[in-house]
Structure 1
Amino acid sequence: MPDLGTCYSQPKLPSTNYFAIEVEGQSISDIVAERQQQLAAITAEISSIQAVRSSIKNLEWQLVRQKNRIIRSINLHNRLRSALWRLPTEIISHIFQLCLPDVPSPNVFQLCLPDVSRPHILQPPSQLTAPMLLTEICQRWREVAVGVLTLWRRLSVTVNDHHWQRAAFCYDTFLKRSQGLPLSLTLQCSRNHSTKLQSLLLPYINQISSLSINFPWVQGVDQPELLLKDLPALQELTIGHNNEDISRFFSRLPSTVRRLSFPGTWFGPMLPSYLTSVQWAHLTNIEFYVDEQNTLFRLLRLCPNLSSLTTAMVSHESQALRPFTHTKLQFLIFRGSVAFNNPLSGVFSTLSLPNLRRFYGWSSSTWPHEEFKEFLTRPKCPLEKLFVSTGSGIMTAEQRAECAAIVRSSRVSRSQAS
C-alpha cells in the first residue's frame, strides 16, 4: 500500500490562501496525476480479482450441477435394483387405483340394522391421501398418476367464503385431469353457495354421472335446484338433509336419473301432492323412507320400473290397503317400525313381488312371520337370498327353517324353469 501522505495533508498549515501555497518539489498537479495513476492500477487489480472470483463461482456452479447429476444417477440406479421401480406402468397404475380412499358403500346387513351411520359422501382431496399424495413422491409417479384418468373421477367439494378462488382453482385442476371421463361428485353446500358450485361445475356438466348434495341443517339455502340444471349425463342422485328444500329438487329431476336416494329424509302423507309418474317412471333404484304404508304404495305406483328399493317405515298403526303387485322389483331392503305396532304385517299381506330375488328385513317389534311367509309364497318369487333381523321378537329355529325352505324351494323352481 503506497504512502499517500504529503506536506499538504499535514494537520496544520499556515493561515494563508491554500491556492497560493506550493511547497517546493511537491506540485499539487503532480500529486493528483500520481494518484490517478495509482487509482487506475488499483481498479485494474480489482477487476482482475472480480474476474477470477466470477470464474471460480462459475466453476463452483458447474461442479454443484455435476454433483447433483451424479446423485440423481446414483438414486436412479439404486432404485432400479428394487423390483418396485422395475414394474411396468400398467401395474403401477393398478396399484394406484387400489390406493384411493375407500368410498363408503352401504352393507346390506347394516342397512337392516337401526342407527347405523352410512356416509354417502366422498372424502375431500388431501395431500396426505391418493391421488394427490401420489403426485408428490417422484417424477415418474407423478407422470403415472396424472396419466391414470380414473384416479381423478371422484371428488368432494366443500364451499366456504374464505380462499374460495384458490380452492376453486385446485378443484378445477383436479377435475381437468379426468379428461372427459364420467365424474362422481359430492357437494357440501350451504347458504349462498349454489351459484359458486354451479360456476365451478359448468365446464364438466356433460361428465357428471353421480352426484351427492349434502345440506347442513340451516335455513335459507339459495336456489339449490340450480345444482340439477343441465346435467345430461346424471344417473345417480343423492340428496341429504334439509327437508324444506327437497320438494324443490323434484321439479328439476333429470330424466336420465336411474338411482335416487334420500338418506335421513322421511316422507309423510304430503308425498302425493308434489310427485307425478312422469318424473319418477324412469327410476330403477330408490332409497326412500316413509311415515305411512299409503306413502310406500304411492311410491311403488309412481315407479313401475323400479328394480331395487331401500325403505323404512315408522307408522304407528297398520292401515287397510288394497292388494298391489309390482312386477319389476327384485331387490328389497326393508326396515320396519320403531313404534309399538308393526306396519310390516299389513304390507306383507297386500304387496306381491313376483320377481323378488333378494330380501333384507329388519324390525324392532315382533316379526310378522305368518304374513311374511304368505308374502314370499303368494307370487312364487324366484328368491335367492333372504336375511331377517328382529329386535324384541327373535325368530325361532322353526321359523328360520321355514324361511330357509322357501328359499330352497324358490331356487329349485327357478332352476326347473330355466
Structure 2
Amino acid sequence: MLSSLEADRRIILELNAQIEPIELHLAGLRSKRATVQARLDAYKYPVSKIPHEIISEIFLQFLPTYPLCPELAGWYSPTVLTHICSQWRQIALSTPQLWRAINSSGYAVGEIHIINDWLGRCGSCPLSLEIRPAENERKGLLGVLDSQCAHIEHLKIVGSPIVLTLLDSAMPGLRHLHLDLWAGSRSIKLTMAPLLRTAVLVDAACTVVQLPWGQLTALALRFGSPKEFCSILRQAPNLVHCALELKAYYNDEVVRPEVNLPLLRSLVLKSPPQNVDSKMIRSLVAPALRILKVSEQCITTLDQNPLQPLSSFISKSTCKLDELCIIYPYNEKAPYVPLERYQLEFSSIPSISANCGHHFDENIFDE
C-alpha cells in the first residue's frame, strides 16, 4: 500500500514537471494575445467614426426616392439594414423616414404584421402607401391603416373595393392620389383633402370618383372617353399639367361647349392605334399650353387635310407651343403623316420630335 502511494507521488512530480513549461508557454501566448488585442481595440475603424446622422442619411439613399415604396421584404427592403450589426440595427430602427413608404402587394409573408411594425417605426412621418393587398388580408390591412389617415401624403390603391373605405375619412395631409379601380366599384367622394394637388385615375375610377377638382394642378386620366374626360376637366380649371389616355372604343360626339383650361402648360394625349379620332383635342382650349405630347391618331383626319384638327386646336387656343412630340402607333410600319410635314406646317414651334411607343407618360408630376 505504501509503495503504491509513493509511486503516485512520483507520477505527480513528473506531471508537474511536464505541465510547468506548458503553462509558461501558455502564459506567454496569453500575454502576446493581450498585446495584439490591445492594438486591435485601439484601432478605430473609419466607419465607426461616422456620426449616426450621416449613417441614417446613407441608409435613406439605399431606398427608392420617396414617395416610391421599397419592398416589404427581401434584399431591397430597409429591413436588410437591421441585419448587419447591432449598432446599425439601432440606427435603422431610430430613423423614421426609412419606414414611411409602404407597399402592400400581398406577396410578403406576414404582411400585416410587417406593416404594423413599419407604422410603429415611422412615428408621425407623412406616409406613402401603395395598396394592392391579397384578398385574405384586405380587412386586416384596413384595420391597421384606418388610424393612419391623418398621416397619409401619397396614396395608391389598385383594385380592392374594401380598402376604398379609407377615403371616407378626413385626409388632411393627402397630396397625391392614384386610384386604379375595377368595374363595379362603388362611388367615392373625397372632400376632406385640402392639400390634394395631383391625381391619377384609371379605368372605372374615371367615372365613380369625385375629387375636389378645383384644387388639382396635375391630373392623369386613363381608359375613358372624351365625354368622361371632359366632364372632369370642366371642373378642373387650375390644371397646369394633364395626361389623358383614351380607351379603345367609344361613341362620343365632339363635346360642347369646349373645355377651357386657362393655366394648362403641358398636355399628354394618347390613344390606342385603332382610334383615328380627333374628338378629344377638338374639345379643348388651352391658351397657356407650351408642351404637347400627342398620339398621331388624336390630331389627324383621313381627308385631304390630315393636320386640320391640330391646326384648329392651336389656332383657337392661341397658344405658343415650345415643344410638340408626335407619338406614332408602335405597331405601324410607317407614320400616317411624316414628321417632316409637321415640321414644315408648324415651323414656328421650336422643337418638333417623334416618339414610337405605347407606354403611358405620367412624368407630368415631375415637370
Provide the C-alpha distance between the structure 1 equivalents of 2:173 and 2:41, rounded to a whole number of angstroms: 46
Corresponding residue number in structure 2 for 1:96: 59
Q: CA deviation at 1:186?
A: 1.1
Query: Match for 2:91: what amino acid?
Result: V
Counterpart check, 1:212 vs 2:151: no
Corresponding residue number in structure 2 for 1:51: none
Query: Match for 2:130: what amino acid?
Result: T
Counterpart check, 1:298 vs 2:253: no
1:7-47 CA deviation, whole Å, 9 max, x = no partner?
xxxxxxxxxxxxxxxxxxxxxxxxxxxxxxxxxxxxxxxxx
- CA distance 1:203–1:300, shift in 2 (3 Å): closer
Q: CA deviation at 1:296?
A: 2.3
CA RMSD of aligned residues (A): 3.7
- CA distance 1:214–1:317, shift in 2 (3 Å): closer
Query: Match for 1:304: what amino acid?
Result: P
* 3-state SS in 2 of match to 1:243: coil
Identify unmatched segments of 5+ residues in structure 1.
2-63, 106-120, 409-418
Counterpart check, 1:177 vs 2:125: no
Corresponding residue number in structure 2 for 1:109: none
1:39-71 CA deviation, whole Å, 9 max, x = no partner?
xxxxxxxxxxxxxxxxxxxxxxxxx9xx99x87
Q: CA deviation at 1:154?
A: 0.5
Corresponding residue number in structure 2 for 1:343: 277
Query: Match for 2:226: what amino acid?
Result: Q
Corresponding residue number in structure 2 for 1:49: none
Q: CA deviation at 1:356?
A: 1.7
Q: CA deviation at 1:192?
A: 6.1
- CA distance 1:73–1:227, shift in 2 (3 Å): farther
Provide the C-alpha distance between the structure 2 equivalents of 1:237 and 1:72, rounded to a whole number of angstroms: 58
Provide the C-alpha distance between the structure 2 equivalents of 1:328 and 1:72, rounded to a whole number of angstroms: 70
Corresponding residue number in structure 1 for 2:253: 319
Corresponding residue number in structure 1 for 2:16: none
Corresponding residue number in structure 2 for 1:202: 146
- CA distance 1:225–1:318, shift in 2 (3 Å): closer
Corresponding residue number in structure 2 for 1:261: 200
- CA distance 1:251–1:191, shift in 2 (3 Å): farther
Provide the C-alpha distance between the structure 2 equivalents of 1:180 and 1:102, rounded to a whole number of angstroms: 19
1:239 to 171, 176, 179: 179
* 3-state SS in 2 of match to 1:204: helix
1:188 to 104, 119, 132: 132
- CA distance 1:139–1:343, shift in 2 (3 Å): same
Q: Check whether the contact 1:228–1:253 (CA below 8 A) recurs between aligned residues.
A: no
Corresponding residue number in structure 1 for 2:316: 378
1:320-350 CA deviation, whole Å, 9 max, x = no partner?
443332213222111024325x222x33334
- CA distance 1:357–1:94, shift in 2 (3 Å): farther
Matches for 1:28-107 after TM superposition, within 5 Å:
74=40, 77=43, 79-80=45-46, 84-101=47-64
Matches for 1:400-415 after TM superposition, within 5 Å:
400-403=343-346, 405-407=348-350
Corresponding residue number in structure 2 for 1:229: 168
Corresponding residue number in structure 2 for 1:393: 336
Q: Check whether the contact 2:280–2:298 (CA below 8 A) recurs between aligned residues.
A: no
| Structure number with bigger Rg | 1
Matches for 1:140-179 after TM superposition, within 5 Å:
140-158=87-105, 167-179=111-123
Q: Check whether the contact 1:293–1:343 (CA below 8 A) recurs between aligned residues.
A: no
Provide the C-alpha distance between the structure 2 equivalents of 1:310 and 1:252, rounded to a whole number of angstroms: 21
Q: CA deviation at 1:208?
A: 0.8
Aligned residues: 307
TM-score (structure 2 length as normaliser) = 0.69
Provide the C-alpha distance between the structure 2 equivalents of 1:94 and 1:265, rounded to a whole number of angstroms: 40
1:92-151 CA deviation, whole Å, 9 max, x = no partner?
333322211467x9xxxxxxxxxxxxxxx8343124224211122123322332333322
Q: CA deviation at 1:300?
A: 1.2
Identify unmatched segments of 5+ residues in structure 2.
2-29, 301-305, 330-334, 352-367
Query: Match for 2:73: what amino acid?
Result: S
* 3-state SS in 1 of match to 2:150: coil
Matches for 1:109-120 after TM superposition, within 5 Å:
none
* 3-state SS in 2 of match to 1:406: coil
Q: CA deviation at 1:290?
A: 4.6
Provide the C-alpha distance between the structure 2 equivalents of 1:293 and 1:95, rounded to a whole number of angstroms: 47
1:209-228 CA deviation, whole Å, 9 max, x = no partner?
11111227xxxx5x443222
TM-score (structure 1 length as normaliser) = 0.62
Corresponding residue number in structure 2 for 1:328: 263
Provide the C-alpha distance between the structure 1 equivalents of 2:202 and 2:221, rounded to a whole number of angstroms: 7
Q: Check whether the contact 1:338–1:365 (CA below 8 A) recurs between aligned residues.
A: no
Q: Check whether the contact 2:184–2:204 (CA below 8 A) recurs between aligned residues.
A: no
Query: Match for 1:312: what amino acid?
Result: E
Counterpart check, 1:124 vs 2:71: yes
